[in-house]
């Protein structure tokens, strides 16, 4: 009985590894598909790659792609001034670092704003199925439960959501607050955060060249998102937009 409550140590380690990997896969799909692909149109994915990444987003994050792209475009439009949906300079550093999800949801609930900033983004039956329900996250947690049982599985599923939310909050909070700058805009680069977010932590570079599908500027800046795009290009599964103009 005690063993059942405390779990097997090795099982917990496997669950922790799974949590980390799921949050990483969700973050990779966020940067390649949601951010560089959908919001900035700097990379065009083959329908098969796009579909896989959409499914990854729905399952591991529960995000509605059109809403995410709209909120993010508005962030660039007003970066760190009044109107920015999640600026540490407007709302406070800890508010964004800890409550980014609240600010995101508040903005995404504004249907007129979403429409205004996502006119070019299509909406199909799959979007209707996943965007307006919690089907994706429910399927995700049920998969965890099937592998690890109800207690550890539920904890791990929500742990993955939590880690993903923390990493994304760190882009909007920490990467607009602390870190080094290659360019004079309000965003910052954080090397370690970039390592953990498939390149998203190179946020100062990104705000300087939002149309570029590559976020790294120095040889020592690690951009796993760009490496993934490069691999997809080699496999003829992605095209970099001509206007991206790699800096």
CB of 240 to Zn ion, least distance (A): 16
Q: Is 239 helix (H, G, I), strand (E, B) or coil?
A: strand
CB of 168 to Zn ion, least distance (A): 11
Q: CA 48, CA 162: separation in Å to the nearest integer?
A: 28
Q: How many residues bind Zn ion (CB under 5 A)?
A: 1
Residues in Cβ contact with 102 at an 8 Å cutoff, skipping those fewer than 6 apart: none
Q: Draw the binding track, 131-170, toward Zn ion (x: CB under 5 A; -: no contact).
A: ----------------------------------------
CB of 139 to Zn ion, least distance (A): 28
Relative to beta strand 43-45, strand 238-240 is: antiparallel
Q: What is the footprint of Zn ion within residues 179-238 (CB under 5 A)?
A: 187
Q: Of the candidates 93, 71, 74, which has an alpha carbon nearest to the alpha carbon of residue 175?
A: 93
Q: Please say which residue, 152 or 202, places its beta carbon nearer to Zn ion.
A: 202
Report the helix count and the strand count for the chain, using DSSP H and E.
13, 2
Distances 66 to 62, 147, 186 between C-alpha atoms, Å: 12, 32, 25
Q: CA 126, CA 55: separation in Å to the nearest integer?
A: 9
Residue 163 falls in which region: left (phi positive, over 0), alpha (psi -120 to 50) or beta:
alpha
Three-state SS for 18-49 is HHHHHHHHHHHHHHHHHHHHHHCCCEEECHHH
Q: Please say which residue, 187 or 198, places its beta carbon nearer to Zn ion.
A: 187
Q: Please say which residue, 99 or 135, places its beta carbon nearer to Zn ion.
A: 99
Q: Please say which residue, 102 or 128, places its beta carbon nearer to Zn ion.
A: 102
Q: Please say which residue, 187 or 240, places its beta carbon nearer to Zn ion.
A: 187
CB of 238 to Zn ion, least distance (A): 18
Q: Please say which residue, 187 or 190, places its beta carbon nearer to Zn ion.
A: 187
Backbone angles phi, psi at 10, to 5 degrees: -65, -35
Q: CA 56, CA 50: separation in Å to the nearest integer?
A: 10
CB of 171 to Zn ion, least distance (A): 7
CB of 181 to Zn ion, least distance (A): 13
Q: Draw the binding track, 168-187, toward Zn ion (x: CB under 5 A; -: no contact).
A: -------------------x
Applying CB under 5 A, which residues contact Zn ion?
A: 187
């Amino acid at each position: 009985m005690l063993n059942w409550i405390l779990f097997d140590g090795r099982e917990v380690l496997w669950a922790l590894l799974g949590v980390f990997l799921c949050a990483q896969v969700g973050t990779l799909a966020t940067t390649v598909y949601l951010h560089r692909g959908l919001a900035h149109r700097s990379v065009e994915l083959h329908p098969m790659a796009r579909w896989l990444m959409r499914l990854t987003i729905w399952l591991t994050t529960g995000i509605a792609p059109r809403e995410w792209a709209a909120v993010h475009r508005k962030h660039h439009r007003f970066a760190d001034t009044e109107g920015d949906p999640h600026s540490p300079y407007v709302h406070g550093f800890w508010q964004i670092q800890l409550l980014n999800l609240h600010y995101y949801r508040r903005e995404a609930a504004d249907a007129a704003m979403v429409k205004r900033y996502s006119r070019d983004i299509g909406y199909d039956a799959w979007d209707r199925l996943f965007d307006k329900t919690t089907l994706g996250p429910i399927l995700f947690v049920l998969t965890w439960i099937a592998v690890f049982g109800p207690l550890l599985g539920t904890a791990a599923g929500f742990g993955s959501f939590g880690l993903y939310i923390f990493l994304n909050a760190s882009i909007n909070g920490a990467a607009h607050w602390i870190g080094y700058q290659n360019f004079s805009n309000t965003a910052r680069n954080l090397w370690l955060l970039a390592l953990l977010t498939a390149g998203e932590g190179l946020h100062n570079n990104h705000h300087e060249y939002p149309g570029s599908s590559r976020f790294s500027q120095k040889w020592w800046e690690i951009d796993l998102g760009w490496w993934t795009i490069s691999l997809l290009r080699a496999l003829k599964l992605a095209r970099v937009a001509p206007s991206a103009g790699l800096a």
